[in-house]
């Protein structure tokens, strides 16, 4: 890390030490993995991580998170949760409603461990998107140390590479609810179909791609560097076949490619 990163990291660990004992919402993604690493360095055994196991979180992601954190010796608990009934129709404020319920649950859990602070991995860049869930975090007084210190995603990746964290180049993922249009009924069957479809894309080398699900249509958002690979007709036919096998009738490529929270484009005029 260069001097500016070192200064920022030292500021982060200093901030964490002042908290003395913390719990961390740990998804296994780039940000929360980096936060757990820094918290362990700052606080040692006074850290516990909680991972949610839910129908809208891919099972492989829960498994990867559990395997890594067991390897570094941080206390870890997996909490099984269902789909909150107030988001079954996937409203535009879904993220707020979901985070309010989930983090309220986590706040109750940390009381059992006599831990005063609950942390999560929002970073500075997350302030630029439509993220109603951040309002819930503020209301519940959940701390976001990476955001407070000013860590950007690029800086987190660079620091993670320096510390040899396996997530330094992990593509960004989000819960499977983001693959479904707003105001659409959510079912576990649909979530499993999306998970299976994305798993097929990843296996073919399209990591970080998104499968946005529109009933019988699968709309694939590719990373920009992946478009050239999709030119190959054999690859396209293979993808079509695999996605039809998981239940889609039609498959298309979104020419704009992957962009974070693309369904937010449908509500931007009204927010």
What is the predicted pLDDT for the residue at 184?
A: 95
What is the predicted pLDDT for the residue at 97?
A: 94
61 neighbors 27 (Cβ within 8 angstroms): yes
Domain with residue 24: its CATH number is 3.40.50.620
Same domain, 53 and 145: yes
Q: pLDDT in tens for each of the 271 residues of the chain? A: 566 778 899 999 999 999 999 999 999 999 999 999 999 999 999 999 999 999 999 999 999 999 999 999 999 999 999 999 999 999 999 999 999 999 999 999 999 999 999 999 999 988 766 667 788 999 999 999 999 999 999 999 999 999 999 999 998 888 999 999 999 999 999 999 999 999 999 999 999 999 999 999 999 999 999 999 999 999 999 999 999 999 999 999 999 999 876 777 766 544 4
Residue 44 lies in a domain: yes
Output Rg (C-alpha) for the chain, integer angstroms.
19
Same domain, 42 and 153: yes
How far is the C-alpha of 251 from the C-alpha of 244, rounded, in Å? 8
Beta strands per DSSP E along the chain: 22-25, 47-53, 75-80, 117-119, 210-214, 217-221, 250-253
Residue 167 lies in a domain: no
Residue 13 lies in a domain: yes
Structure-token pair, residue 186: 């959510």
Global pTM?
0.89
The DSSP annotation for 32-97 comes to HHHHHHHHHHHHTTSEEEEEEE-TTS-HHHHHHHHHHHHHHT-EEEEEE----GGGTT--TTHHHH
Range(s) of the domain holding residue 260: 176-270
């Amino acid at each position: 890390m260069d001097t500016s990163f070192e200064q920022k990291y030292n500021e982060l660990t200093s901030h964490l030490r002042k908290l003395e004992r913390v719990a961390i919402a740990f998804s296994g993604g780039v940000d929360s993995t980096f936060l757990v690493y820094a918290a362990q360095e700052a606080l040692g055994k006074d850290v516990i991580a909680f991972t949610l196991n839910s129908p809208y979180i891919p099972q492989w992601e829960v498994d990867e998170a559990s395997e890594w954190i067991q390897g570094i010796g941080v206390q870890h608990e997996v909490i099984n949760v269902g789909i909150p009934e107030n988001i079954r129709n996937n409203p535009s404020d879904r993220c707020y409603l979901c985070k309010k319920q989930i983090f309220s649950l986590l706040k109750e859990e940390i009381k059992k461990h006599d831990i005063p602070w609950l942390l999560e991995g929002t970073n500075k860049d997350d302030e630029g998107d439509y993220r109603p869930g951040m309002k819930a975090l503020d209301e519940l007084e959940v701390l976001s140390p990476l955001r407070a210190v000013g860590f950007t995603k690029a800086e987190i990746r660079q620091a993670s590479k320096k510390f040899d964290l396996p997530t330094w180049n992990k593509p960004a993922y989000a819960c499977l609810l983001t693959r479904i249009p707003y105001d659409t009924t959510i079912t576990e069957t649909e979530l499993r179909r999306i998970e299976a479809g994305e798993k097929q894309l990843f296996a073919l080398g399209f990591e970080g791609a998104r499968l946005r699900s529109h009933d019988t249509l699968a709309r694939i958002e590719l990373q920009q560097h992946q478009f050239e690979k999709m030119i190959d007709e054999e690859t396209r036919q293979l993808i079509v076949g695999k996605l039809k096998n998981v239940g889609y009738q039609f498959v298309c490529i979104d020419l704009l490619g992957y962009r974070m929270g693309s369904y937010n484009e449908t509500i931007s005029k009204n927010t």
